[in-house]
Amino acid sequence: MGFLSMIKGWWNRMFKSEAKSEFGTTAIISGEMETAIRYWMDIYSGRPDWVDPEDNIKTIKFAKSICSETARLVTLAIGVSFDGNRGDYMENWNNSAVMPHLRKWVEYGCAFGTIVLKPNGNGVDIVTPANFEVTEVDGMGKITGMRFQDRYKSGDNWYTKLEQHSFRTAKVRYEESGEYEDVTFYLIQNRAYISNNEAEIGKPIDLSMTKWSMLQPDVTLTKKNGENIDSMLFGVFAMPNANDLDLDSPYGMSLFSEAVEELKDLDIAYSRFTGEIKDSQDIELLGETMLQEPGRKINAPSDIKLPHHVKRVPGTSEDDFYQAIERPLRSSDRQVGINHLLSEIGYKCGYSNGYFVLDQKTGMVTATQVEADDRRTIQLIKDIRDALRKCLNDLYYAQSVFADLYNFAPVGNYVPSYDFGDITYNEEEDRKRWWQYVTNGKVPFWMYLVKFEGYSEEDAKAIGEEMKADSESKLFGEE
C-alpha cells in the first residue's frame, strides 16, 4: 500500500456511525485531536496550508527531515536477538518482516504521533491513524480495544472491512462442579461492506464475497496452552511526549507538534532567501540612442535581442543613457534568521541547541555530530527507543500467539534482547584513538585491522606476524 493510500482513507461520519451501530463502541478521539493528526499528516507530506505559489511560498519539508533524522538515530545499529526454544523462529521472522522496515515505521510514528504495527501472517502491516480508531482503554490508559479499516476497489465497487479487537468477559460453567467462573477472552470481529461510492461505506456483504474470504466474522482467541491472551495482538508505537491537546487521549503527539509555527516561518524565510538569490542579478538600463545601428539615425528594431539582464528604456532624452542597478544579497542576515528558526525548531522537537544549522557552503545540515554533553538529544532518542521497545514487545507477543494458532512454529517460549547503537559514537575519533593504542603498544596491530579495516582475525594476525618478522629482519641487518 502506498503512503498516500495509508493516510487518505480517514473515517468519515458515515463510517463512524456504522461502526458504532455494528460493534456498540465509539471511537475515543476528540475532534480537536483528529484535526491535529490530519494537519500533521499534511505538513509531513509537504502539503501545509501556508504554501502559496502566488506569493512564492514553498515548503522545504523540514518536518520530514526532523522525523527522518530522528528515525535514523533511534534505529542506529539496532539489533534484536531471541533466546528460548522459539527463539530461532522469532529471530528469522523479525529479520525478514520487521528489521528491513523499522526505520521507515519509526519515521511515520514520529510524524503522526501514533502508528500500529499489526502482524498479517508472514509480515507486518503498518496502520496510520487514518485507518484505526481506539475504542477502549483501561484505568492505566493502556489500549484495550481498537478498530481497523481496510478498503480496496474492484470494478465499479468499493469494498470496506471493519475489524474490531477487544477483550470480553463471559461466565463459563464447569460441568463437573457446576460452578460458574468469569473468563476473559480476546475477540476479533470482521464485517464487510460494498458500495459504488468511495465516500460511502455501503451495505453489508458476506466476507466470502470479498478478498477477505479466509476470515471469520467472529473469532475468540486463547493461547494454545489454554492461558488467556493478556495483550492486544498488535504493537502501538506512540511518541512519549505528553498530549496537551487532549489530556485523556490514548494518541501520541507528533514530534514536531510544538514547532508548527516555526516550521511555517522557516518555509517563508527559506522561500524569501532562495527567491532573493534567484532575483539577485544586476540589471543594466540602456537608452534607445545606445541601441542605434552604427552610422544611422534610426533606432534598432524593437525586437533586437538583448541579454536577459539588459533592459531597454524607451523615450529617454539623454544621450547615451546607461544605468546599472546593483542588487546586493543579504545572505548573512538571512542565514542568521534561518539558523535561529532551526535552533528553535530543534529545541521544541527535543534536540539540543545547534543540532540543525544552515551552512553557507554546504547548505542544510541535519546530522550535526552529537557530542557527549548534548544530553537533551540523547534523552529524546532514549525516550523514543523505550517507546519502540514496548511496541516491538507487543508485536512479538502477537506474532507468537498467531504462530501457535496457525502452527507457524512449534509451541515454545522466547525472550527478546535489544541492542541499540551509541548515538555519540564517532568512528573517525575511535579510529585515531585505537591507532594511538597500537603505536603505544597497548593493543596489537591485528586488533586494529579487524575493528576498522574489515579483516578476519586469522588474516589480521598473519599480517601482524609478517610485519613483526620484517621489523626484526631490519633490526638485525638482514636483507
| pLDDT (tens digit per residue) in 345-380 | 999 999 988 889 876 444 555 444 444 457 899 999
* pLDDT bucket at 258, cuts 50 / 70 / 90: very high
% residues pLDDT > 90 (the chain) = 50
Q: Is residue 182 helix, strand or coil?
A: strand
The mean pLDDT value of the chain amounts to 84
CB 240 within 8 A of CB 383: yes
At 426, the pLDDT band (50, 70, 90 cuts) reads low
Report yes or no: 26 and 209 within 8 Å, Cβ to Cβ.
Answer: no
Residues 158, 199: Cα–Cα separation, whole Å: 9
Full-model pTM: 0.78
Q: What is the pLDDT of residue 369?
A: 46
Give the cell for residue 357. Answer: 544549522
According to the model, what pLDDT value does residue 10 have?
Answer: 66
Distance CA 10, CA 35 (A): 11
- Rounded Cα distance between 212 and 209, Å, is 8
SS3 (DSSP) at 88: helix
Range from 120-134, 270-284, 387-401 carrying the lowest mean pLDDT: 270-284
